[in-house]
Amino acid sequence: MNGTINARESDPGPGTLRPPFGLPSSLGTALRLGLLVAMVAACSVGPGAAGTGTATSPSATAVPSVEIPVNATVIELSIPTGGSGRGSSGFESDGRRVESIKVNAGRPYVFRITNTLTFGHNFFIGAANDLASREYDRLTGVDAWSEGVRQVIYTFEPNGPPLQFACTLAGHYGRMHADIVVEP
């Protein structure tokens, strides 16, 4: 499927934490998380709130002041410049525009979003009408940031309402949103 990220447990796809050098998954993940913590300790990263998220309890953070669940699947997204060199053409993963993602209900996901532009974008998960109308006070996400990496941890509920992720800043939603398909 063009434009769809398959982040289900049975097919982890790109962006999933994988053990290095053939190590068992849990040890490889622990090593990667330890390396990430050490790298962050050496750098200064912008503000953010930590926690785990559902649609009713917001959770987002600047990398890496949040503890990533060991069983989480990481979805790497970037905000590239548009074809004109101004603005963004939407969220991308592995150089391709993301129109939808598939996830498993009940499994934690880490959305790791890289903004390489020098102007603001935000990232929220919610119902399309809430995102399009910029009604995101109760939604999980991160407020606008102009450069660097932010993370959102989210566990999707089975049989929940249709969801999307989006940038909700004025004029951005039209090109910067994608559907989330939650599978059992």
At 20-40, the pLDDT tens digits run: 434 444 444 444 444 443 333
Q: Which of 111, 182, 120, 116 shows the shortest CA–CA distance to 153? A: 111
Query: For strand 4-6 and strand 100-104, is the pairing parallel, antiparallel, or unpaired?
Result: parallel
Once rounded to an integer, what is the mean pLDDT over residues 5-12? 51
- Taking CA 73 as the corner, what is the angle to CA 71 and CA 77, rounded to the nearest 5 degrees? 155
> In terms of residue numbers, what domain contains 47?
4-183
- What does pLDDT average to over the chain? 72
pLDDT at 177 over 60: yes
Q: What is the CATH number of the domain that holds 147?
A: 2.60.40.420
Count how many domains the chain has: 1
> pLDDT tens digits for 102-134?
999 999 999 999 998 778 899 999 999 999 887
